[in-house]
Amino acid sequence: MNKALTVEDFIGRFEAYAPKTYAVEGDPIGLHFGSFKQEIHKIMVTLDVRPEVVDEAIDEGVDFIFAHHPPIFKGPNVLTEDNKQQAMYAKIIRHGIAVYAAHTNLDAAPNGMNDWLAELYGLENTQVLSPHYQIKYYRVNVYIPKEDVDSLHQAIVDEGLASHGNYSGVNFQVAGHGHFTPNDQASPHIGQAGQAEEVEEILYSFICSEEEKEKALAVTKNNHPYEVPVIDVYALDNLSQAIGLGRVGDLDQAMPIEDYIALVKERTGISGLRAVLTDSQAMVKRVAVLGGDGGKFYPDALKAGADTYITGDIYYHVGHDMLADGLNAIDPGHHFESICKDKLLAIFSQWQEEDQWPVTIIKSQLNTDPFTFY
């Protein structure tokens, strides 16, 4: 029988995908309710944690809610169930439901919220719109007997290491000779104490990210035959990956702004949206998109050469500023981030299959958009 899944197990897997370091400073991501040690058996994915969503979770027998928007943005000074929001907190605790929120770390993560939106709206050759973090990369060099190279390489590949761009198992090998003399305290894999040895070795070299570094070193040490393996780690100044909010890219073919607005409306699945139009006859070719409330990032869209910007919650005066700066904008509402429910359900279901988690995973069926369009 498979071991029960804990909150800690699940979060560990998720934060390897969207680490906390990707979040904007001060964002209240993470575990809001429950314990890292508690077992979970039924997971529900939601955009928002609202009283009706909590009731849905209770009716479904859910013991872990995974949300995009944190249920507590600002901690209350007092707790009273006369306040409906705080009454919801009490209900969560009474029913033993753990609640975890992944907000701007999911927004910024590769293959996260903003990549999903960019794909939905037809953007190609995308780049990060507003970077706030750089992933560092390292080169790991290890010296290992020639006959042990294949087993080390396979262990590294099996752990998902040594990937670069669209390629896996990327490594470089140089043949040479290792020289050493074990002392009388050593337990050498090759040779005897007090005798100088010369061994045909391979310098096996691969690249890992900052998040992968500790795992890369552990896998290398655990699959090396030597008592004290020689491993060199170098920071790569010429290689990094931008992490941040929003994406900017190009449409396959330019189209009139009114046609593109219709496309956004249809693909978002809404009955109405708002637009800021500096030119209603403009052609759309280069588009920036940022999930959530992204009005303040519109200068980044201009800097990136976008002719159209898609984001939610555009304020009145920001709309005026966009008009003055000649930027068309489309506002499908903050709720367009609900794309996360289907996307996360698919990802979590894949992890469940890979790791044989004994859990059920569902998504909230509720629409938590506070606005109705007529």
Q: Which of 5-9, 192-196, 216-220, 256-260 has the weakest average pLDDT? A: 192-196
Structure pTM?
0.87
| The pLDDT of residue 67 | 98
Percent above pLDDT 70 for the chain: 100
Q: Which residues pair with 239 in a beta bridge?
A: none
Enter the CATH code of domain 5-103+338-363: 3.40.1390.30
| The pLDDT of residue 194 | 86
CATH for 134-241, among 3.90.580.10, 3.40.50.720, 3.40.190.150, 3.30.70.120? 3.30.70.120
| The pLDDT of residue 39 | 97
Q: If DSSP states are collapsed to H, E and C, what string results for 139-205?
A: EEEEEEEHHHHHHHHHHHHHCCCCCECCECCCCEEEEEEEEECCCCCCCCCCCCCCCCEEEEEEEEE
- 52 pLDDT above the threshold of 90: yes
| 294-338 pLDDT, tens digit each | 999 999 999 999 999 999 999 999 999 999 999 999 999 999 999
Mean of the per-residue pLDDT values of the chain: 95
Whole-number CA gyration radius for the chain: 26
DSSP label at 230? E
| The pLDDT of residue 188 | 85
Q: How far apart are CA 45 and CA 174, in angstroms?
A: 48
Is 334 annotated as contributing to ligand binding?
yes
- 221 pLDDT above the threshold of 80: yes
Q: CATH 3.30.70.120 residue ranges in the chain? A: 134-241
Q: Which CATH class is domain 108-132+244-334?
A: alpha beta
Is 107 annotated as contributing to ligand binding?
yes
| The pLDDT of residue 60 | 98
| The pLDDT of residue 74 | 85
| The pLDDT of residue 97 | 98
Q: CATH 3.40.1390.30 residue ranges in the chain? A: 5-103+338-363, 108-132+244-334
Is 177 annotated as contributing to ligand binding?
no
- 186 pLDDT above the threshold of 90: no
| The pLDDT of residue 197 | 87
**Burial environment of residue 190 by CB neighbours within 10 A (0 to 12, 13 to 18, 19 or more):** middle
| The pLDDT of residue 219 | 97
Is 153 annotated as contributing to ligand binding?
no
Q: How many other CB atoms are there within 10 angstroms of residue 137's CB atom?
A: 20
| 170-182 pLDDT, tens digit each | 999 999 999 989 8
Q: What is the mean pLDDT of residues 356-374?
A: 95
| The pLDDT of residue 248 | 98
- 250 pLDDT above the threshold of 90: yes
Is 68 annotated as contributing to ligand binding?
yes
- 356 pLDDT above the threshold of 80: yes
| The pLDDT of residue 1 | 57
| 102-131 pLDDT, tens digit each | 999 999 999 999 999 999 999 999 999 999
Percent above pLDDT 90 for the chain: 88
